[in-house]
């Protein structure tokens, strides 16, 4: 096991012992944070998976409805109906803290009408299709925010995992090994000093 590059003296020994206490405390806190993050991540991932599946099914119905409307509408009439924009979708962004991870929250505000054309020239199937697309838009934006949150939480979990591993497998063992080394060196110095003192005493007594 690699040791830290420090001078083997009592001051360094005292400092290392304090550092070891701090490192062990930090390791526990980071490990607890990692476990809590993983739990929150898995719970959110399950919910977002269900949310995505529901939205994908809704999108599938939207496209089916639009394909039906397109098949029933003359191309020129369809182009004219879709030429003028309808509702304007404004997105605001705020942030919240989830387990020390700052994640985005998107607020959606739709202004105007989703259908901005004369109903007399279009079929009802097109109206239904466009209304469905208008309804699903806020859900898509909300899903984007949730999936961004999952990505950020995943990144934070990986960063925390690396820090936990660095403490657990590198810093703490190296500190322990260095403390043992310095302690051994100091004990050797004490034994050597005691041995010299005993020899001096023997010399003094012999004279």
Is residue 114 pLDDT above 60, yes or no?
no
Question: Within a domain: residue 93?
Answer: yes
By residue range, what is the domain housing residue 32?
A: 13-197
Residue 168, H or E segment? none
Cα–Cα distance for residue pair 8/16, rounded to 1 Å: 11
CATH of the domain at 146: 1.10.287.3240
Question: Within a domain: residue 190?
Answer: yes
Cα–Cα distance for residue pair 54/129, rounded to 1 Å: 17
- Between 94 and 115, name the one with better pLDDT: 94
pLDDT class of 54 with cuts at 50, 70, 90: very high
Contacts of residue 23, defined as CB under 8 A and 6 or more positions apart, other chains included, come to 167, 171, 172, 175
Counting the structural domains of the chain, the total is 1
Question: Within a domain: residue 134?
Answer: yes
Phi, psi of 168 (to 5 degrees): -70, -40
Q: pLDDT of 69-83, one tens digit each? A: 777 776 776 666 666
Q: What is the pTM of this model?
A: 0.74
């Amino acid at each position: 096991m690699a040791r830290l590059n420090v001078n083997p003296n009592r001051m360094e020994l005292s400092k290392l012992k304090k550092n070891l206490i701090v490192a062990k405390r930090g390791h526990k806190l980071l490990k607890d944070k990692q476990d809590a993050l993983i739990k929150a991540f898995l719970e959110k991932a399950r919910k977002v998976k269900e949310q995505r599946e529901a939205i994908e099914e809704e999108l599938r119905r939207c496209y089916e409805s639009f394909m039906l409307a397109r098949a029933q509408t003359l191309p020129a009439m369809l182009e004219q109906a879709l030429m003028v924009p309808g509702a304007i979708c404004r997105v605001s962004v705020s942030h919240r803290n989830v387990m020390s991870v700052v994640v985005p929250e998107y607020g959606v505000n739709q202004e105007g009408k989703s259908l901005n054309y004369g109903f007399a020239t279009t079929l009802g199937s097109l109206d239904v299709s466009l209304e469905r697309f208008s309804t699903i838009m806020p859900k898509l934006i909300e899903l984007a925010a949730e999936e961004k949150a999952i990505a950020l939480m995943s990144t934070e979990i990986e960063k925390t995992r690396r820090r936990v591993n660095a403490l657990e497998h590198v810093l703490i063992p190296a500190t322990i090994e260095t403390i043992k080394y310095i302690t051994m060196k100091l004990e050797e110095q004490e034994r050597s000093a005691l041995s010299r003192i005993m020899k001096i005493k023997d010399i003094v007594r012999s004279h």
